[in-house]
Homo-oligomer: A and B are copies of this chain.
């Protein structure tokens, strides 16, 4: 099968199709989402968990080419959460990581929403986000942000976002964001001081001190990215005064049972929000699989709003 290999760049090559293990189906990939984790893996910083495919690609949509021992129907269209392997014509997927295609979406659009939906929903559940809360989302115009704004508004949450340009903030506003902060012009910690019940953070160390300042009483900071560094000073005294919590999470290394639980719960909660229009896909750009390097360049440069998807079949 055709697949992208990391070999002094991203090279389209011919590889053997994956062999199915117990409880897995073979999916013929129509489209696969591009995530920051793929950039990290291409740079050698994010090795796949033990037993996972060495190929990049954390989500895809397509059709079942071989149902293995699962009793699924050949040809069934599915969206898939992957531990890896999406940048290829075929991928082996544990049955617990299969979702239906959300009503009204194409497979290409579906491939843009699996990872963000599972990531945002599982983390907001961890943080106990609920109607009436105030949520701060960093990078509101990115793949995670554009989804998280709509998801939180559907839950009845007040949403604040940070972004680096007026254009990006305008997109956030169109998606429903209530409070718009240009981080190049304002200190978000001052604007949101003691106000945030939950913060969804992709910056890590660089924002740690400001995020703690922005937390409300019993607030919860959830860190899912470290674009601003790994090590930061934590003021435990300030955290204690607020009875605050910090969690740092990632989806990829979770075990099969944990992923199956998250996938089922995300489908149950988020897919209806898509079906009735409260949450719209944020697919912004499609790029053919053989131009994966160009897709990575677009994401790295940070000028894309929403998601980039590689089209395969």
Contact = CB atoms under 8 A, between A and B. Distances in A.
Interface in A232-258: 232-237, 239-241, 243-250, 253-254
A231 interface: yes
Contact of A247 (B232, B233, B241, B243): B243
A161 interface: no
Interface in A208-238: 208, 223-224, 226, 229-237
A48 B243 CA distance: 16
Interface centre among A247, A248, A254 (most CB of B within 10 A): A248
A143 interface: no
Q: How many identical subunits does the complex contain?
A: 2
Given A244-B247, A247-B244, A250-B243, A237 B233 contact: no
A223 B243 CA distance: 10
A52 to B, nearest CB: 16
Q: Taking chain A's interface residues, is the majority helix, strand, or loop, or is none over half, making it mixed?
A: mixed
A204 B233 CA distance: 13
A205 interface: yes
A208 B236 contact: yes
B237 A234 contact: no
12 contacts: A204-B237, A205-B236, A226-B240, A233-B234, A236-B248, A239-B246, A241-B253, A243-B248, A243-B249, A244-B248, A245-B246, A245-B248
Interface of A: 204-205, 208, 223-224, 226, 229-237, 239-241, 243-250, 253-254
Closest 5 A-B residue pairs measured CB to CB? A240-B248, A230-B237, A234-B234, A239-B248, A245-B247
